[in-house]
Structure 1
Amino acid sequence: MTPYHRGELIAQQRAGLLDEAAHVSVLINDEMPRAGRAFLAEQPMLVVGAVDRNGAPWATLLTGEPGFITVTGRSTITVAAAPAATDPLHDVLAGPARVGLIAIEPGTRRRIRMNGTARPASDGLRIELAQIYPNCPKYIQRRVPVRDDVPPGVPRLGTRLTAGEMGFINATDTFFVATADPEGNADASHRGGNPGFLRALSPTRLRWPDYVGNSMFNTFGNLEVNPRAGLLLPDWSTGTLTHLTGTAVVDWDPAHAAAVPGAQRLVDFTVERVVRIDHASPLRWTEPEYSRFNPLPARAGNQ
């Protein structure tokens, strides 16, 4: 038996990493380990990915004081937070929803990934987990949070990026990707690199390199069978969250990847909808210490 679905197996085979993926599959559990319980209790944020009623994936950020994520059973967590009314996942998480989760601690470069089903609870969400597994610390920029409770702004809704949003994207060092299989089983993943690794090529087109990872190909596996994807781009200094949904295509041509330092593959993302909410998160973060694993950004001419 394998924990991977058909799309993940296809992506692993295309990458020539079926054996490696089979080896690391032992890390995928359906019960929260003791270390995971302690880790989650310390976290002030949780990334959530899910699919809306139109099949569009979105990713968002839930926050709270440490302890707002609690492990209440072998494979159950409660989250004392829910998306605000203006969040693109507000209506989705107001009822049962299949979710992908990442709890990430930039200060120590630790993270844990989880997939399961969320249901609304009196103080937030109750989530039954089906898959729980650690991820390596690569490409996480070290930061430490402080709180600054500024009221969120009015959302900017659109179908194209503004010049300011494109400039922010071209300078970012971290974002999150939500994908799902055709049945709506969602996944959320982290992407990081030096500023310039993610490029806004136009108001509706982004590109980023895929670096060496854990060989599971959860994101790419979903894209093999469902090209829709959602991105979350946090502004670490202001708490502004930029949510994008659209479609993503993986470029498996090694000649194209060779033009970008460190890239194994390239991903092209087409923007369909934009939701930007200024000061959506109360967390502000210190200046980053970039990961030593980050390849140098490619020259602009190679993007």
Structure 2
Amino acid sequence: MDPYHEGSRAVQTRIGVREAADHVGRSIGQDIRDVAAVFLGLQPMLVIGAADEGGRMWSSLLTGEPGFVRATGRRWMSVAAGLPDSDPLVAALAAEGTAVGTIALDPRTRRRMRLNGTAGPTARGFVVEAEQVFSNCPKYLQKRELRASVPARHGAVRREPELTPDQARFVHAADTFFIATASADGADAGHRGGNPGFVRVESPNELSWQDYAGNSMFLTLGNLENDPRAGLLFLDWSTGTTLQLTGTAKTEFGVHGRTNRFTVAEVVQTPHASPLRWSAPEYSPANPPLRESA
């Protein structure tokens, strides 16, 4: 069975990496293998991507003591945590049969794995029936140490139709963000990383970033080929504040590479959303130098 849909195949063909994609695609399976189950059980955070009840894509952060995410069989992942009531995906995770993409990323080891499937609520959180399970390489992951976990104390949630000046500075200083996209086959949650400034704030309602060379799968860009909806998550690793953006994205293919442009529809800022406090980053040696223009 082809692990890629027509959108990903179209991008792979355009760039000329179908053979490489075929090779990497063999790692995509439906089972949660033992090594993946162990990895999940050690993680204090999980990022999830899905559409809200209005169809807009969001990327949200879940945290807990290691063990709050665990494999409960070869095809099932259980999450014993919920989102704060103010999170845009609360209703989606309370519904049966929600298409979700998840990514477990460990900054301490520069390891990450993705699990996409269908979610349903439980008494303690939710479960996901896996449809795609795979790991990604450590490229563009900044290394961080977990310094502390403090009592949760969510601040007042701020909702805006576009980025404020402070939020724009937050985005410009980021070295990491997560992106949720969707296709007819389901949802996906991915990671993007680079040196601070790799995300450009073109205006209060437009961002751009270079699409760096990766694993040739083109799951995110493949989804955007057919469905422009996207949700971004930025995290202040030292304070736990999250910035969630929903909107649309497109990819521009040029002679000097690929540029992604994101149009903001809504912004949700939650102070101290995460109880985790991380160290300053050790930047990935794979991060390219910043270009003068996007």
What's the TM-score once normalised by structure 2's chain length? 0.97
| 8 Å contact from structure 1 (residues 236, 285) kept in 2 | yes
Which residue is equivalent to 1:267?
Answer: 260
Counterpart of 1:137, as a letter, is P
| 8 Å contact from structure 1 (residues 100, 178) kept in 2 | yes
Stretches (4+) displaced over 6 A: none
1:150 is displaced (CA, Å) by 4.3
Q: How far apart in 2 are the matches of 1:87 and 1:174?
A: 20
Which residue is equivalent to 2:168?
Answer: 166
1:111 is displaced (CA, Å) by 0.4
**1:212 is aligned to 2:210:** no
1:53 is displaced (CA, Å) by 2.0
Counterpart of 1:53, as a letter, is E
In the alignment, structure 2 segments of 5+ residues that lack a partner are none
Q: How far apart in 1 are the matches of 2:76 and 2:39?
A: 15
Partner secondary structure for residue 151 of structure 1: coil
Q: How far apart in 2 are the matches of 1:155 and 1:15?
A: 41
User: Cα RMSD (Å) of the superposition?
Assistant: 1.0
Partner secondary structure for residue 222 of structure 2: helix
Which residue is equivalent to 1:261?
Answer: none
1:298 is displaced (CA, Å) by 2.1
Q: How far apart in 2 are the matches of 1:221 and 1:203?
A: 26
1:60 is displaced (CA, Å) by 0.5
**1:112 is aligned to 2:113:** yes
1:203 is displaced (CA, Å) by 0.3
1:57 is displaced (CA, Å) by 0.6
1:164-197 CA distance string (max 9 Å, x none):
000111110000000001x371100000000010
1:158 is displaced (CA, Å) by 1.2
Q: How far apart in 2 are the matches of 1:109 and 1:18?
A: 26
| 8 Å contact from structure 1 (residues 196, 298) kept in 2 | no
Q: How far apart in 2 are the matches of 1:69 and 1:167?
A: 33
Which residue is equivalent to 2:157?
Answer: 155
Which residue is equivalent to 2:187?
Answer: 186
Q: How far apart in 1 are the matches of 2:123 and 2:205?
A: 39
Q: How far apart in 1 are the matches of 2:99 and 2:275?
A: 26
**1:279 is aligned to 2:276:** no
Counterpart of 1:106, as a letter, is P
After superposition, the Cα gap between the structure-2 partners of 1:150 and 1:122, relative to the gap in structure 1 and judged at 3 Å, is: closer
What is the identity percentage for the equivalent residue pairs of Structure 1 and Structure 2? 50
Q: How far apart in 1 are the matches of 2:65 and 2:252?
A: 40
1:102-137 CA distance string (max 9 Å, x none):
000001000001100111101111111011001000
Q: How far apart in 1 are the matches of 2:263 and 2:185?
A: 20
Q: How many equivalent residue pairs?
A: 292
**1:15 is aligned to 2:48:** no
In the alignment, structure 1 segments of 5+ residues that lack a partner are 259-263
Q: How far apart in 1 are the matches of 2:28 and 2:7?
A: 17
Which residue is equivalent to 2:69?
Answer: 69
Which residue is equivalent to 1:92?
Answer: 92
Which residue is equivalent to 2:229?
Answer: 228
| 8 Å contact from structure 2 (residues 53, 91) kept in 1 | no
Partner secondary structure for residue 192 of structure 2: strand
Which residue is equivalent to 2:125?
Answer: 124
Partner secondary structure for residue 272 of structure 2: coil
